[in-house]
Amino acid sequence: MKYLITLTFLLLSCTSFSQKPCEYTTNVNDSIGTYKITPETLVSEKNFAGTSNYIFFALAQTDGLPTLNVQLIQKSKDFIKANCFDKNSKIFLQLQNGKIVTLISVNQENCGTLIRDKGFNNRINSGMFMFMKDNFEELKNSPVTIMRIKYLTDTEDYILKSELTSEMDGKVFHPETYFIDNIRCIQN
């Protein structure tokens, strides 16, 4: 019986300490307030017919308020339609357990910036989204399977993979478990 209890304790200890430490691109704590943000992580990549679309997530905490920073990058030789964020924009995350988590825009209208480079049109758009208090805990426990982004004039769905090897740089990402792996980094 002692052996079983010791083994159980050892396994629980290993799993609780096996999380990798949090990384931050910015971590400031001064008289004005606190701000920390995790590195950007690729969660969606689509390359089709000469057009590339990338979505990056970064978790941030500003004076105790956790947010999700979303960056969309589009690249094409053709015209790129602007998908704007506004005060009514939302991100819906369908979890593997069937629940849906909603993130709401922080009320900044942004249609991105169009940059021409070597015959390509590039559009970069960013948005900040707040977590709703009752849904925050759900993201720590269940992987995300589908993401829906509601823009100003359009809605798009993205299927998040359990493992994504980027065609851009060959790095491996785990979009489904992004929140499970990182949300603890912005908690108080």
* pLDDT at residue 19 in the model: 66
Alpha helices by DSSP H, listed for the chain, are 2-17, 136-141, 178-182
Taking the CA atoms of residue 82, residue 83, residue 88 and residue 94 in that order, the dihedral angle to the nearest 10 degrees is: 180
Low-confidence ranges of the chain (pLDDT < 70): 1-19, 188
* pLDDT at residue 146 in the model: 97
Q: What SS3 class is residue 109?
A: coil
* pLDDT at residue 32 in the model: 85
Establish if 1 belongs to a structural domain: no
Establish if 168 belongs to a structural domain: yes
* pLDDT at residue 64 in the model: 86
Kindly provide the b/e burial profile for residues 86-124, where b requires at least 16 CB atoms within 10 angstroms of the residue's own CB. Answer: beebebebbbeeeeebebebeeeebebeeeeeeebbbbe
* pLDDT at residue 117 in the model: 87
* pLDDT at residue 14 in the model: 46
How many domains does one find in the chain? Answer: 1
Establish if 84 belongs to a structural domain: yes
Establish if 11 belongs to a structural domain: no
Establish if 15 belongs to a structural domain: no
**First-to-final CA distance of the chain:** 39
Establish if 2 belongs to a structural domain: no
* pLDDT at residue 7 in the model: 45
Establish if 18 belongs to a structural domain: no
Structural domain span for residue 124:
24-186
Establish if 78 belongs to a structural domain: yes
